[in-house]
Amino acid sequence: MMRQYELVERVAAYTKEPDEALLNKAYVYAMQKHGEQKRASGDPYFSHPLEVAAILTDLKLDEDTIAVGLLHDTIEDTDATRREIDEMFGEKIGRLVEGLTKLKRLDLVSKQAKQAENLRRLLLAISDDIRVLLVKLADRLHNMRTLGVMRPEKSKRIATETMEIYAPLAGRMGMQDLRDELEELSFRYINPEAYETVMNYLRELGEKNRSLTAEISKNLEQRLAERDIQATVKSRQKKPYSVFRKMETKQLGLEQLSDIFGFRVIVNTIEDCYLTLGIVHTDWAMVPGRFKDFISVPKQNDYQSIHTTIVGPSKQRVELQIRTWQMHEVAEYGIAAHSAYKEGDDDFSQSKAYASLRKTIEQLAESDNPEEFLEHTKLELFLDQVFCFTPKGQIISLPTGATPIDFAYAVHTDIGDSCIGCKLNGKIMPVITELQNGDEVEIIRSDSQSPPAAWQSVVVTGKARSAIRRASRQAARKQYLTLGVRILEREFSKVGLPYDHAGIEAALPRLARDSMDDMFAQVGRGEIKPVDVIMAVHPEFEQGQAEAKSKPAAKSDGPMGLFSLQNLIRKSSERSSAVSGKQKAQIPIRGVNDDLPIQFSPECGAVPGDQIIGILDPGKGITVYPAEATALAKFRGDKEHWIDLSWDIEEAKSDRFPARIRILAKNEPGTLADVAKSIASHNSNIQNLNMQVPVDDFAEIEIDLEVSDLVHLTRILQQLSAQKAIAKAERLLG
């Protein structure tokens, strides 16, 4: 184990006057408290906090943070108390130790709601003081280094937690070396066979290319020295998990990877970075599309470098990262390299990475429920970034895979809610297009637009997803409210009573409702029966109940009795629901009552992602049409039967919906089989098919499909259109 003086020497290597008394006191206190405790490996327990402290010295952190590393398990695992630590080491250190104790009790790999709530507590503790995260990461790193003594199932559980939570957090803070080691250790336990395969390949490749990498490094240094640029060139090999991840995402074999080796060129000034870039691109050919300037536009975690790929001296691809020594330190240590730590300053907000993390956590805290928080956290925190621009040049950073919809919501919620289209680099493109670094995005807006619920399955940012859900709930409430008014107007008319808005408002206390809007929406959702509203407005019917029992209601000269009123409403409901062969409101659609049967347009169907309209036929229920359906033209003169509907997509993730497509294809053997194969490959089912041959060379095929949503349908059409035998594939809308 490391001795006291060795710990002090490690700190003295980067701090002029280390607080030796604090370090010695924390060392002795932790050693005494842990006493004879043992780890699962049989080693003295004190070896763990000591190794945590050593990792923190590798990150060149201040004495307070290192003392917290020594003490972080004392409250949890010994008889030490918060008061005792406050008295001996100060309230600041006591608060951090207690915060880490609470986090130690978390079980992040658990049921989703519990995991989400625990992660929320972790992130809020981090936002309060970033040193909580730094000590927690050091603690996790040492635990991962000694994970081999655990049972295999426990090792895999802890490794999964590390890969999903702690490694990405280290990356978000720019601590790339620590992230790489956490990922490599986790990879070893999560997928040991793949780990061994990749490691063996990298070892063999390293031996094979050792002389080549040395030659390239020497060649680069000489070329730069000839131009009076002092540079250090370091070769680097891609990490095992990074290799495996690229193989998975790109669907490549090991032999197909061309960027296993790369080189870092470290110079003294920013000017030297760009001079180096010019020399490299002048002497060697640049590989198009492989240039990124993170000096001009730093990443959110403060990372800065120029990335380029050239065709090197031996005609092989060579990846280069060009940076200054200061940039290199930030790239290695991330937020731990920030000068605030070395000055003993507790205000770390100067760090772009920490400020960005705190802002993200504030947005995440607005999630409606724990599951949403967990989902949004993984989207917002743990994905790489792309950088896009507004037409005025403002930079917007988004997670990889983001769409123009995410971009619109990142600018402002109102822009996202009113988005109807976009231009990417001046060209009109679909709003579901994946954004790339450097894209200029212009959002096309309409004040009459509201975001379709199906966008939730397209966007990747938590802010966009929350806003779409909120807008969908508001739109659904508005539709239920409108439907509730129509239902009451109809039911009042059926029983021969005038619809009296003021009378209904006066009757709200009898219905135990606070507002008219709430009452109307609940009628629309079927939570309040129309008969209850009528009875609340006309309480005299309660007095007629006794008369209804003693004589037939038909002979009553007074107001209609309770029995007759309920019977009339009941019969009316029965008439509207007695439609055979129609689908009930099991369909995930908002804006209709459960007592109304629903069917889809026989001309074109409708799928989630469409804006939809319902046409009410008193004898047949409601028929659902896409808003763009040409078949709606025949109902233009009958607007009172139009009902605004929306998809309740939350309840329909595995459902299928009808759509009709038309294909113009070459009339040759195998074409129809290829069409069916393409549709089946997208997990879609053909319900009906009609084929005509208007000319000898081409066939026209109409197909009724079942798809999950508009995105699903679009992908099918795109694949069909890509086939050589198909001239055109389109959706039919009536």
Give the neighbor-by-neighbor strand order of the sheet with 726-732: 685-692, 698-707, 657-666, 726-732
CATH number at residue 699: 3.30.70.260
* Cα–Cα distances in angstroms (integers) from residue 588 to residues 318, 472, 482, 505, 598, in the given order: 53, 13, 18, 31, 11
Same domain, 41 and 164: yes
Q: What's the confidence (pLDDT) of residue 644? A: 72
Q: Is residue 241 part of a domain?
A: yes
Any domain includes 586: no
Question: N- to C-terminal Cα distance for the chain?
Answer: 78
Residue 442 lies in a domain: yes
| Co-location of 187 and 121 in the same domain | yes
The DSSP bridge partners found for residue 662 are 702, 730
**Which residues form the domain of 506?**
451-538
Last residue of one domain, picked from the residues 272, 306, 341: 341
Q: Are residues 439 and 498 in the same domain?
A: no
Place of tokens 């070459």: 666
Tens of pLDDT, residue by residue over 190-243, are 999 999 998 998 888 888 877 888 888 888 888 899 989 999 998 888 888 888
- Residue 416 in any domain: the answer is yes
As a whole number of angstroms, the distance between CA 122 and CA 107 comes to 11
pLDDT, residue 696, reads: 66
Q: Does 202 lie in the same domain as 184?
A: no
Assigned domain for 675 exists? yes
The answer to whether residues 382 and 496 belong to one domain is no
Count of residues making up the chain: 734
The closest of 263, 261, 270 to 229, measured between CA atoms, is: 270
Query: Is residue 556 assigned to a domain?
Result: no
Alpha-carbon span 494 to 500, nearest angstrom: 14
Closest CA to 70 of 14, 155, 135, 18: 135
Shared domain check, 74 and 25: yes
| Residue pair 11/66 in contact by the 8 Å Cβ criterion | yes
* Residue 287 DSSP class: P
**Domain limit, last residue, from 405, 424, 450:** 450
Identify whether the C-beta of residue 324 lies closer than 8 Å to the C-beta of residue 271: no
Q: CA torsion sign, 282 to 284 to 290 to 296?
A: negative
Q: The CATH number of the domain where 241 resides is what?
A: 3.30.460.10
- The string of DSSP codes covering 612-641 is EEEEEETTTEEEEEETT-GGGGGGTT-GGG
Which residues are tagged catalytic?
76-77
Last residue of a domain, one of 305, 321, 341: 341
Structural domain contains residue 620: no
- Number of helices (H), then strands (E), belonging to the chain: the values are 31, 19
Q: State the sign of the Cα–Cα–Cα–Cα dihedral 557, 558, 560, 564.
A: negative
Residue 277 confidence (pLDDT) = 94
Whether 369 and 460 map to the same domain: the answer is: no
261-267 and 317-324 strand pairing: parallel
Residues of the chain with pLDDT under 70: 102-128, 250, 255-256, 258-259, 314, 336-385, 540-588, 590-596, 618-620, 637-640, 649-654, 695-696
> What is the structure's pLDDT at 554?
39
| Cα 72-77-79 angle, rounded to 5 deg | 100
The reply to whether 190 and 205 lie within a common domain is no
Split into its structural domains, the chain has a count of 5
Residues 314 and 219 in one domain: yes
pLDDT tens digits for 351-364? Answer: 665 665 665 555 55
531 and 427 inside one domain? no
Residue 89: other Cβ atoms inside 10 A: 21
Cα–Cα distance for residue pair 121/96, rounded to 1 Å: 14
Give residue 403's pLDDT.
Answer: 92
User: Rounded distance, CA 130 to CA 146, Å?
Assistant: 25
Q: Under a CB-based contact definition with an 8 Å cutoff, are residues 271 and 230 in contact?
A: no
**In the structure encoding, which two tokens stand for residue 471, read together?**
């807008």
Look at strands 657-666 and 621-626 and give their pairing.
unpaired
Q: Indicate the angle between helix axes 462-494 and 404-411, nearest 10 degrees.
A: 90
What's the pLDDT at 283?
Answer: 86
What are the angstrom distances between the C-alpha of 394 and each of 363, 440, 445, 459? 21, 10, 19, 21
571 part of a folded domain: no
Its sign, for the CA torsion 189, 192, 196, 198, is negative
Residues 24 and 137 in one domain: yes
Instruction: Tell whether 377 and 503 lie within a shared domain.
Output: no
The dihedral formed by the CA atoms of 574, 579, 585 and 586, expressed in degrees to the nearest 10:
120
Q: What is the pTM of this model?
A: 0.54
Q: What is the 3-state secondary structure (H, E, C) of 188-248?
A: HHHCHHHHHHHHHHHHHHHHHCHHHHHHHHHHHHHHHHHCCCCCEEEEEECCHHHHHHHHH
pLDDT at 53: 93
Cβ 323 vs Cβ 176: under 8 Å:
no
